Structure 1
Amino acid sequence: MTTTTLSGLIAATYTPLNDGGDVNLSAIPQMVDYLLSQGVSGLYVCGSTGEGMSLTSDERRAVASAYVEATAKHIPVIVQVGHNSVHEACQLAEHAQAIGADVISATCPSYFKVADVAMLVETMAEVAGGAPDLPFYYYHIPALTGSAIDMGEFLLKGGERIPNLAGLKYTDTKLFEFQHCLELQDGRFDVVWGCDEMLLGALATGARAGIGSTYNIAAPLYRRIIEAFNQGDIERARHWQSRSIEMIRAIGRYPFHPAMKAILEMRGLSVGGCRLPQGRLSMAETKSLRADLEAIGFNELQAANLPLAE
């Protein structure tokens, strides 16, 4: 297995859809070019942001292939393969390895809940075994999976059972648990932060990388947080984190992912809306969102100062 340590800002990418709600693979190269221009250091494909759970397995394979091809090894591509069917998850993992993805990741099944650490380890061992040559990161997102199992205990037991377990995508707000996981066995595991509005706190706790939705639209803002933190200018880092919180609160007045896709459309990217049950913003909501973003100086958060397209 190739080892890896993720770093910097990893965009949890969106899956472009056309007006009929079908996957629009032709839009992915433009999306990749845009994200590279914004300074992201990796892509996380078919996760929560990418509506992986709303796509068919064939669609997920097609999307993963398109992102790997478009990225052309410039930055790592992490393919999220979690599924309520563990058998399907294994097949998605096998496909990710076959197409040249750099990393796989997976949520646990969420319809029938995973009740304890032993069952989570066995389940993830089977999924990770589908791509034994790739690093595997368990995707811990208890708000959506309903599984709030202690991650430190999972890493310790999983490290003994899962040969390619590299770490976690940690999407929770418990900085104390995050720090504990980072420090286990002298930093054996790579634990990546997944809560955009708390990036600064995670950096202070030891984070080396973050995976997030809003890195799609405001990577320059988060780069400023990291730069200020690395320079020891905590006041400036706190200022930019505050601007991130303000932005996320503005977007959060609307259905979040449809609003995010609307912003990408304003940037000239053909990503469409979301699959049901999320849907897309109405014209009135999009107009209101644009006004809310302009009110908080959203364009100023972009290093390139890109205008919002009409």
Structure 2
Amino acid sequence: MTDRIHGLVAATYTPFDASGRLEVTPIDAMVEYLIASGIRGLYVCGSTGEGMSLSTDERCRVAEAYVQAAAGRVPVFVQVGHNSLTDAKILAAHAESIGADAVSATCPSYFKIASTEGLIECMHEIASAAPGLPFYYYHIPVLTGSTVDIVDFLRRAGQAIPNLAGLKYTDTKLHEFQQCLELENGRYDVVWGCDEMMLGALATGSRGAIGSTYNIAAPLYGRMITAFEAGDMQTARQLQSQSIEMIRVLGQFPFHSAMKEVLRMLGFEFGTCRLPQQSLTSNEVAKLREDLVQLDVLAELIAP
């Protein structure tokens, strides 16, 4: 993959059966739905896909299923971050071997990264295991606990990591995001990762975005991008407001478990999330459905 990311990349979910075992069969239909809804790429085994709750073997199986389902129509990014750099390297090499288009990784999070040098060294280890693929560092400090200056990382990492292509930037600091975008005359592909702030990211210069809610509301975000590019800021703001309200409703519950319930409402059986993420009760599912049906963005998709 040599082109930069443009448009919406779905951070994909991982399907489980009723017993909580991995069940990759629903992935084919989900990928068809996502592509039809305007998705331009797939980001596999990230936070949304519960990568950190899967075994290394399961992560390999999920990556293979998504690469096969995409069949070259959209790029597939495989997230390989792990507290064990040995396992992360195994996952990265596997992603390259199955024909994935890019590798991405969070930093180790149990033993915290304390310096830019340490982050560069860890990401070099992972990226070097898939030297033929673009590498995107997954910056999500709220989950990794990393306090490393991400602009400093980008300034210094290019020499040590030859295949460093950019970042998945999942934070809310638009000024920092802008610095990353503009660094060295736009050297890096910096992809936005906060769905409820997409409009701000577009205004800052974002060309692509990776997110969870694109699985269920890609057309809304697509219309937002179209309105923004046409200079229709009133419509763009209205669409962002709908996104914010949708995410607020989902956020009343364990977020990813709620998203999997929405997938079920849309006809995709992905099970629920693994512990430590909590499942929704039947009453919570009913309340979620009721609240979502009232929103214009999903009223046509989810019947009462």
Bin of the TM-score, shorter chain as denominator length? over 0.9
Which residue is 1:154 aligned to?
153
| SS of corresponding position for 2:166 | strand
CA displacement, residues 181-238 of structure 1 (integer Å, 9 cap, x when unaligned): 1001110000000000000000000000000000001001100110000001111101
Q: Which residue of 2 is the match for residue 5 of structure 1?
A: 4
Q: SS of the residue aligned with 2:184?
A: helix
Tell me how far 1:148 sits from its aligned partner.
Answer: 2.2
For residue 114 of structure 2, give the secondary structure of its aligned residue in structure 1.
Answer: coil
**Residue 248 (structure 1) aligns with:** 247
CA drift at 1:3 = 2.8
Indicate yes or no: 2:168 matched with 1:169. yes
The structural deviation recorded for 1:269 is: 0.2
Contact 1:16 1:271 in 2 (8 A): yes
The letter for the 1-side match of 2:249 is A
Q: Deviations over 1:111-162 (max 9, x none)?
A: 0000010000000000000100000000000000000211111011111110
Task: Give per-residue Cα distances to partners, 1:77-109, cap 9 Å, x unaligned.
Answer: 000000000010001000000000000000000
Instruction: Give unmatched runs, 5+ long, in structure 1.
Output: none
Corresponding position of 2:179: 180
Match of 2:18 in 1: 19
Q: Deviations over 1:31-71 (max 9, x none)?
A: 11111111100000000000000000000000000000011
TM-score of the two chains, using structure 2 as the length reference: 0.98
Aligned to 2:44: 45
Equivalences for residues 178-217 of structure 1 within 5 A:
178-217=177-216
**Does the 8 A contact of 2:242 with 2:297 survive in 1?**
no
- Post-superposition, which runs of at least 4 consecutive aligned residues in structure 1 deviate over 6 A? none
Residue 278, structure 1, aligned to residue 277, structure 2: yes
How much does 1:281 deviate? 1.1
Distance in 2 between the 1:157 and 1:230 partners?
A: 33
> Could you tell me how far 1:282 is from its partner in structure 2?
1.3
**1 CA distance for matches of 2:276 and 2:189?**
33
The CA RMSD over aligned residues, in Å, is: 1.0
Query: Which secondary structure state, in structure 1, belongs to the residue aligned with residue 25 of structure 2?
Result: helix
Normalising by structure 1, report the TM-score.
0.96
What count of residue pairs does the alignment treat as equivalent? Answer: 304
Counterpart-to-counterpart distance in 2, 1:17 and 1:209:
29
| Seq. identity, % | 60
CA–CA distance in structure 2, aligned partners of residues 183 and 297 of structure 1? 36
